[in-house]
Amino acid sequence: MDSVNDNGSQNIYDNQVFFDGYRKLRENPDSSNVLEEKPALFSLSPDLTGLSVLDLGCGYGENCAEFKRRGAWKVVGVDISEKMLSIAKTENTGIEFINADMSDLSFITAKFDVVFSSLAIHYVKDFARFAKSVAALLNPGGYFIFSQEHPLTTAPLAGASWTRDVSGIALHYNLTDYARGGKRSTTWIVDGVVKYHRTFSELINALTDCGFMIEKLSEPVPTEETILRLPAYAQDLHKPNFLLIKAIKSQPMS
Ligand SMILES: C[S@@+](CC[C@H](N)C(=O)[O-])C[C@H]1O[C@@H](n2cnc3c(N)ncnc32)[C@H](O)[C@@H]1O
């Protein structure tokens, strides 16, 4: 199950069991994507009017559609999964979708004003190389805005786990292996889902090393209203689900 290509990328979303399970998760209006990640991602977005946008790991193309609604004149979505893109193409018009591995962006020749990536970067093995190629695709002053699973989530080699009381309330998160960067083979919907763990310093240094300035970080947590309505969300106050970074290309690539 956990076969990867030469770039270390796995196309798990084309696995039918995974695809069906993921679709079900995304149909839940109370998912952490809907309640935490999407509001945080769009809060980091600049005004997109008249800008060109590249979305890496675009999935169903939901964010691409929102970028268009927000005024982007050109939106290109890239995804490794044919199944995800077949939905994206059916549900969206006026957006170019490319079926490719975002770990190697050499197939893109155009430059963009903003590169987004929502919850796909933890699937990329070599973040330093990836950040460098994103910088090369951006116009000067362009933004790279991405979300990923929180580094505290990706850290444990045995997968994320919690210590709970007898009623199931989360007492604390079991953090292990934080400083052991690299591949994780996890169980999420199916066994053998490959992700990559990176510490905060690895992420930030990779970005600044290729000329990005970090404009904002975000670790969204549920609102009080969400916790009152859905008490299980209180555990995210111990450990957020997501990390988002907004970086600006501050100098031309050498
Ligand atoms: C959690 S989904 C997020 C989809 C979309 N960005 C969103 O937020 O709705 C992750 C997506 O990343 C894609 N993906 C994973 N690894 C990839 C890679 N190496 N290259 C391109 N896409 C990839 C998957 O196929 C999947 O569609």
Domains of the chain, first to last: 12-150+199-249 (3.40.50.150)
Beta strands in 51-109 (DSSP E): 52-56, 74-79, 96-99
Whether the CB-CB separation of 196 and 7 falls below 8 Å is answered with: no
- Among the residue ranges 166-170, 175-179, 216-220, the one predicted with the least confidence is 166-170
Return the H-helix or E-strand segment holding 38: helix 38-43
pLDDT at 252 over 80: no
Please name the residues in contact with 113: beta carbons below 8 A apart, sequence gap of 6 or more. Answer: 51, 52, 53, 138, 139, 142, 143
User: Tens of pLDDT along 8-26?
Assistant: 999 999 999 999 999 999 9
Atom of ligand 1 nearest to the CA of 101: 20
Q: Which of 101, 123, 124 has the most ligand 1 atoms within 8 A of CB, as the residue to mutate?
A: 123
pLDDT at site 253: 43
Q: Which of 26, 79, 83, 101 has the most ligand 1 atoms within 8 A of CB, as the residue to mutate?
A: 79
Atom of ligand 1 nearest to the CA of 124: 19
pTM across the whole model: 0.96
pLDDT at site 240: 98
pLDDT, averaged across the chain: 96
User: Tens of pLDDT along 115-154?
Assistant: 999 999 999 999 999 999 999 999 999 999 999 999 999 9
pLDDT at 254 over 50: no
Residues whose beta carbon lies within 6 Å of some atom of ligand 1 = 9, 13, 57-60, 62-63, 78-81, 84, 101-103, 118-120, 123-124
Q: Closest residue (by CA) to atom 17 of ligand 1?
A: 80
pLDDT at site 251: 60
